[in-house]
């Protein structure tokens, strides 16, 4: 289908779909909110402090609670694919599920996106950005909203806040309750979720768990021996698993906070003809304390720990282990009505190793640690009633690397009521990973003196916020330098700062409440890119993409929604020779939910809902370029249509 047909598809079908959980009190709170409150929501990611979306110094999109309840999503990736300017992507081996912002899939992992949980970073540091288990397994039933900064965010968040910052805001305890969900799907898929919260005076706790097994699916995959010539084509028929499990815990006592998360996911990889099963695990914990020094000065202290493991079940037989500890002191100072200053400092210690376990003894090919220090500050000043200026920097010092400083600055102008103009300049960085500085393999070597990858970006956007409507258009341009790539023609290749890529494009997005029940949303992204040698389309993503959603949520307990994601045609260089060619596609999903209490006007004290979810209604088996693997080949990423039935009970 072409782009126009994909948009029309969104309006031509209204049926059923999705699994999600709606508490009665959550729904009532949303119904009591004005449409202006639903559109111009309060956010925290751009400044680490509460502000209206229209005032935030960044190009932000918010997936609100209302949108989560309308459109749902079985995985975090499902939800993020609907966000304007974010695209689904994949790679051949270590990061099979990724999200790319504004077309940036330069790496073979998600290392140019930083994921936050309630403002705290969660990273993988051996390869430098693996996030498959987060995108596929994170317990979405605990999410309150998601804030996405499109563009650099390193001034406040450091390494990996390169092309996007994705901040997952979780729910807080709201009384004492328990929610249980069970579902079954086509071809033997099944899953369950649970969530509970408890409040007792100054103490509150919220916890969630998730287990979800999609159907195993069999496909046909063809390959040849990439290290030999004139070899026969080999066809295998692998069965691809898809199993995720996760948990989340959050506790608050007065100004003391603790949160923790665990995520695990299993699926197949395709590595130069080898097909096997990978298992990813990622754990996260944060201990925080807030302190009010004076009436104009607040402090926040955090110690954040992340660990990640990666296990490859067959050739090439890899095990990876990474640990990341951040101790951070953040200050919020408002010396006068018109001036806000955020400043702080941190110490970051990382340690990781990689081993090949099919040797006796086990061969350790990478094992290193590193400590870095950073100071940062960001301020905004209301220069006049219709204009605010922003400035900031982060200074970061890593062993063997010169002191590095990334700045930012900009202006937010309100020429007339309801319209704002944002002109922003930002830089960001991604520090070299453990493998990039220290791997010692017969085919690949690290370099301890690598510089951080850098990006310089400008954004210029205009947005309108009405009583029922939010609309924005933004132009962006960024130049990435010092990109870390393996250099050389013959083994061993050495990681070096040789890459350079420039992106530019235009993005449109809008939301419209026709009424409190009927909601429309849509976006379009067009981007181009070229490297330092003027080679175009150096990422395996389409230049053009669009999204449209339509939702009808009635007070009687019926929700009917659809969402379509269109991704355009790829450059001809990504055509495959043996396997299906990656094509333009439409990913259409439908959602239907029936709250039995409301619909039948029952007097039960507990909510009970039935739901149906249908993903990929057009039944397209998707193949993406074999990114990082065999040039000119493709790998499978989506099996086609999947339908789930389930029951949701709130006790």
At which residue do the structure tokens 């993988």 appear? 124
Instruction: Specify the length of the chain in residues.
Output: 651
If phi over 0 gives left and psi between -120 and 50 gives alpha, with beta otherwise, what is residue 154? Answer: alpha
Both tokens assigned to 307: 């660990």
Of 242-251, 338-347, 538-547, 604-613, the range with the lowest mean pLDDT is 604-613
449-491: per-residue pLDDT in tens? Answer: 999 999 999 999 999 999 899 999 999 999 999 999 999 888 8
Cα separation, 469 vs 466, whole angstroms: 5
| Residue 169: pLDDT over 90 | yes
Using the Cα atoms of residue 212, residue 215, residue 220 and residue 225 in order, give the sign of their dihedral: positive
101-131: per-residue pLDDT in tens? Answer: 999 999 999 999 999 999 999 999 999 999 9
Close Cβ partners of 212 (under 8 Å, ≥ 6 residues apart): 74, 75, 137, 191, 192, 193, 243, 244, 245
Nearest CA among 271, 276, 313 for reference residue 629: 271
What does DSSP assign to residue 175?
S
Q: What is the mean pLDDT of the chain?
A: 91
Which structural domain range is residue 283 located in? 3-650
| Residue 6: pLDDT over 50 | no
Bridge pairing between strands 98-101 and 86-89: antiparallel
| Residue 8: pLDDT over 70 | no
State if pTM tops 0.85. Answer: yes
CATH number at residue 420: 2.40.170.20
Contact 112, 149 (CB under 8 A): no
Would you call 462 helix, strand, or coil by DSSP?
strand
Cα separation, 611 vs 598, whole angstroms: 14
Query: Which string of DSSP letters, residue by residue, matches 8-41?
Result: HHHHH-----------HHHHHHHHHS-HHHHHS-
516-558: per-residue pLDDT in tens? Answer: 899 999 999 999 999 999 999 999 999 999 999 999 999 889 9
499-521: per-residue pLDDT in tens? Answer: 999 999 999 999 999 998 999 99
| Residue 27: pLDDT over 70 | no
Cis preceding-peptide flag for 220 (omega within 30 of 0):
no
Contact 647, 609 (CB under 8 A): yes
Phi, psi of 565 (to 5 degrees): -115, 120
Nearest CA among 248, 257, 280 for reference residue 267: 280
Mean pLDDT of 367-379: 97
Nearest CA among 56, 125, 59 for reference residue 86: 59
Of 136-140, 397-401, 441-445, the range with the lowest mean pLDDT is 397-401
If 0-12 CB within 10 Å is exposed, 13-18 middle and 19+ buried, where does residue 534 land? exposed
Contact 332, 300 (CB under 8 A): yes
Cα separation, 217 vs 124, whole angstroms: 29
At which residue do the structure tokens 């807030």 appear? 290
Query: Which string of DSSP letters, residue by residue, matches 323-354?
Result: EEEEEEEEEEEEEETTEEEEEEEEEEEEEEEE
What does DSSP assign to residue 76?
H
609 pairs with which residues across the strands?
595, 648
| Residue 14: pLDDT over 60 | no
The total number of structural domains in the chain stands at 1
| Residue 205: pLDDT over 50 | yes
Detail the DSSP E strand segments found in 431-553: 440-441, 444-445, 453-465, 469-487, 493-513, 518-531, 544-553
Cα separation, 55 vs 388, whole angstroms: 9
408-440: per-residue pLDDT in tens? Answer: 999 999 999 999 999 999 999 999 999 999 999
State the distance between the two ends of the chain, measured CA to CA, in whole angstroms: 45
Q: How many CB atoms neighbour CB 65 within 10 A?
A: 21
Using the Cα atoms of residue 641, residue 72, residue 208 and residue 28 in order, give the sign of their dihedral: negative
pLDDT bin (cut points 50, 70, 90) of residue 33 is low
- Helix, strand, coil % over all residues of the chain, rounded to 5: 10, 55, 35
Cα separation, 176 vs 649, whole angstroms: 15
pLDDT at residue 149, rounded to an integer: 97
Q: How many CA atoms lie within 13 A of 272 on its CB side?
A: 8
| Residue 140: pLDDT over 80 | yes
Contact 9, 20 (CB under 8 A): no
| Residue 645: pLDDT over 70 | yes
Contact 340, 56 (CB under 8 A): no
SS (H, E, C) 567-615: ECCCCHHHCCCCCCCCCCEEEEEEEEEEEHHHHCCCCCCCEEEEEEEEE
Contact 552, 562 (CB under 8 A): no
Alpha-carbon torsion angle 46, 77, 507, 167, nearest 10: 0
């Amino acid at each position: 289908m072409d782009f126009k047909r994909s948009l029309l598809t969104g309006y031509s079908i209204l049926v059923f779909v999705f699994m999600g959980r709606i508490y009665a009190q959550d729904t009532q709170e949303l119904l009591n909110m004005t449409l202006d409150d639903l559109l111009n929501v309060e956010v925290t990611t751009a400044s680490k402090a509460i502000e209206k979306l229209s005032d935030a110094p960044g190009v932000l999109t918010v997936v609100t609670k209302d949108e989560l309840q309308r459109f749902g999503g079985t995985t975090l990736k499902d939800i993020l694919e609907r966000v304007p300017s974010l695209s689904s992507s994949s790679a051949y081996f270590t990061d099979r599920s990724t999200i790319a912002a504004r077309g940036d899939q330069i790496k073979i992992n998600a290392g140019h996106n930083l994921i936050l949980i309630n403002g705290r970073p969660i990273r993988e540091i051996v390869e430098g950005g693996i996030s498959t288990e987060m995108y596929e397994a994170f317990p979405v039933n605990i999410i309150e909203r998601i804030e996405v900064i499109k563009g650099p965010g390193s001034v406040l968040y450091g390494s990996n806040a390169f092309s996007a910052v994705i901040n997952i805001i979780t729910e807080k305890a709201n009384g004492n309750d328990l929610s249980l969900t069970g579902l079954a799907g086509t071809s033997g898929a099944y899953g369950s979720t649970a969530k509970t919260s408890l409040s007792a005076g100054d103490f509150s706790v919220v916890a969630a768990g998730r287990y979800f097994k999609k159907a195993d699916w069999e496909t046909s995959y063809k390959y040849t021996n990439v290290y030999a010539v004139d070899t026969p084509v080999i066809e295998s028929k692998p069965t691809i698993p898809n199993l995720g499990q996760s948990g989340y815990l959050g506790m608050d006592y007065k100004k003391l906070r603790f949160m923790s998360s665990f995520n695990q996911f299993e699926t197949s990889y395709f590595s130069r003809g080898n097909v096997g099963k990978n298992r990813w695990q990622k754990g996260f914990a944060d201990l925080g304390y807030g302190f009010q020094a004076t009436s104009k000065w607040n402090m926040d202290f955090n110690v954040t720990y992340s660990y990640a493991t990666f296990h490859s079940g067959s050739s090439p037989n890899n095990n990876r282990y990474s640990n990341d500890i951040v101790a951070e002191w953040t200050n919020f100072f408002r010396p006068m009505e018109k001036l806000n200053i955020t400043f702080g400092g941190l110490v970051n210690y990382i340690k990781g190793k990689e081993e090949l376990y099919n040797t006796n003894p086990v061969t350790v090919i990478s094992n290193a640690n590193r400590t870095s220090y950073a100071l940062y500050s960001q301020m905004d000043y209301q220069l006049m009633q219709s204009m605010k200026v922003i400035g900031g920097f982060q200074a970061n010092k890593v062993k063997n690397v010169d002191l590095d400083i990334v700045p930012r600055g900009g202006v937010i102008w309100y020429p007339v009521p309801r319209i704002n103009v944002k002109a922003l300049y930002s830089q960001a960085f991604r520090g070299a990973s453990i493998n990039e500085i220290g791997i010692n393999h017969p085919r690949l070597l690290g370099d301890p003196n690598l510089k951080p990858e850098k990006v310089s970006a400008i954004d210029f956007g205009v947005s309108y916020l009405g009583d029922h409507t939010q609309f924005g258009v933004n132009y962006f341009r960024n130049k990435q330098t010092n990109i870390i790539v393996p250099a050389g023609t013959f083994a061993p290749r050495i990681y070096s700062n040789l890459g350079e890529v420039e992106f530019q494009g235009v993005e449109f997005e809008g939301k419209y409440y026709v009424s409190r029940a009927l909601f429309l949303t849509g976006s379009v992204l067009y981007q181009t890119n070229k490297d330092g040698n003027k080679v175009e389309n150096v990422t395996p993503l389409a230049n053009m993409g669009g999204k449209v959603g339509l939702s009808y949520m009635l007070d009687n307990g019926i929700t009917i929604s659809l969402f379509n994601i269109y991704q355009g045609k790829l450059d001809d260089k990504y055509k495959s020779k043996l396997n299906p060619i990656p094509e333009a596609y439409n990913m259409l999903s439908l959602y239907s939910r029936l709250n039995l209490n409301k619909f039948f006007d029952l007097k039960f004290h507990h909510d009970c809902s039935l739901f149906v979810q249908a993903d990929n209604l057009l039944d397209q088996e998707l193949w993406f370029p074999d990114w990082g693997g065999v040039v000119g080949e493709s790998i499978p990423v989506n099996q086609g249509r999947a339908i789930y039935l389930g029951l949701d009970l709130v006790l």
